[in-house]
Amino acid sequence: MRWVLCFIVKQNLLIGFSCIKISYGKIEKPCYQSFVFFAHLLYGFKFFQKFRKQGEVGVTVQERFEYDSQNRLVKHYHQVDNNPEELLAENTYNDLSQLVNKKVGSTSGSAPLQSIDYDYNIRGWMTEINKNQMAATDLGGKLFSYKIKYTSREGIENPDTAQFSGKNVVPKYNGNIAEVDWRAVESIGANPSTTPKRYGYAYDKINRLTAGFYQNPQNPNSKENTESLAYDLNGNITSLYRTSVLEYGNTTPTMIDNLQYIYASGNTGNRLTNINDYAQNATGYEGGGQTIGYDVNGNMISMPDKGISVIKYNHLNLPH
């Protein structure tokens, strides 16, 4: 495949350009590619694909951008050949330049496919997406609604205090997310569950994520889709526990991973040497516990568990 990328600019003002030619994934000599900017903003570019395979006619794809007086992206247009230009996104901002509405998917003068609303708290943290539709049976025609909670918790604190000791979901005041709720359309023509799905998050005293508890609307304490982590004093992950979604009529979730991470120098270093999986479930980590290889520069050169026998690096320590 060979293509040429060309940029165009508002008011025909060309500030700079560069050229490149790509043929079958290889970079060749410079040709017709130009980057065009106006006041450091990209106003558009045109991509011309000369051919896709023998005998096929190439296509031209053009992207166009519009900005407001504060240089915020307002509209993004997309056009293929001479087909009608599509408005991919139209953004609306508040006085603090926070995105409050995004309309996606429409042609000139037509209604958008979706209109997405965003809400924030006084600290500027996003709190809700499509807030007014969360309680609507059909989500008011929206595809999803999402609520982010920082300083409050409505769900369970801990599904199993014995298994997840000290990993409680509690209100946070430092910007960490304590809990999220969401409802989403999962199939065309069907309404989502009336009860929101929920995830609660636990952290340690230095704000590292230690657990994520999924709360099924029908059984919040099921421990499905749950993750639990532990760390060493260097901040390295030492263990990871994960479960699956409840399925096939099971009342308890399947353990996907129960990983132990081994580090160099008797677990006092930071170089990962082995990963042991005590779950013995191939749907998660492949398992094997074999030694990970490194070169003298610290680059990983092999990972037998993943089927990686050798990785070679150049003089810049980049794989090649």
The type of residue at 238 is T
How far, in Å, CA of 42 to CA of 65, rounded?
7
The 3-state DSSP composition of the chain as helix, strand, coil percent (nearest 5) reads 5, 40, 55
Neighbours of 252 (CB within 10 A): 10
226 within a domain of the structure (yes/no): no
pLDDT digits (tens, 9 = 90+) for 21-36: 444 444 333 333 334 4
User: What whole-number distance in Å separates Cα of residue 63 and Cα of residue 53?
Assistant: 24
Comparing 241 with 3, which gets the higher pLDDT? 241
Domain membership flag for residue 184: yes
In a domain, 101, yes or no: no
269-287 pLDDT, tens per residue? 899 999 999 998 888 998 8
Q: Which residue has the higher pLDDT, 169 or 10?
A: 169
Q: Regarding beta strands 41-42 and 37-38, do their DSSP bridges make them parallel or antiparallel, or are they unpaired?
A: antiparallel
Q: Could you list the residue range(s) of the whole structural domain that residue 165 is in? A: 125-217
Coil, helix or strand at residue 127:
strand
Q: How confident is the model at residue 49 (pLDDT cuts 50, 70, 90)?
A: low
C-alpha–C-alpha distance, residues 263 and 241, integer Å: 18
- Residue 19 counted as domain residue: no
The residues, any chain, with a CB within 8 Å of residue 296's CB and separated by 6 or more, are: none
3-state secondary structure of 2: strand
pTM: 0.80
Averaged confidence pLDDT in the chain: 85
User: Could you give the number of structural domains in the chain?
Assistant: 1
Q: Give the pairing of strands 2-7 and 44-51.
A: antiparallel
Model confidence pLDDT, tens digit, residues 73-116: 999 998 888 888 899 999 999 999 999 999 998 876 778 999 99
Q: Tell me what the mean pLDDT of segment 5-11 comes to.
A: 48
Please check whether residue 14 lies inside any domain of the structure.
Answer: no
302 φ, ψ (degrees, to nearest 5):
-160, 150
In a domain, 91, yes or no: no
Q: What is the percent of the chain where pLDDT is above 90?
A: 59
Note whether residue 141 is domain-resident: yes
Under the banding of pLDDT at 50, 70 and 90, the label for residue 51 is: very low
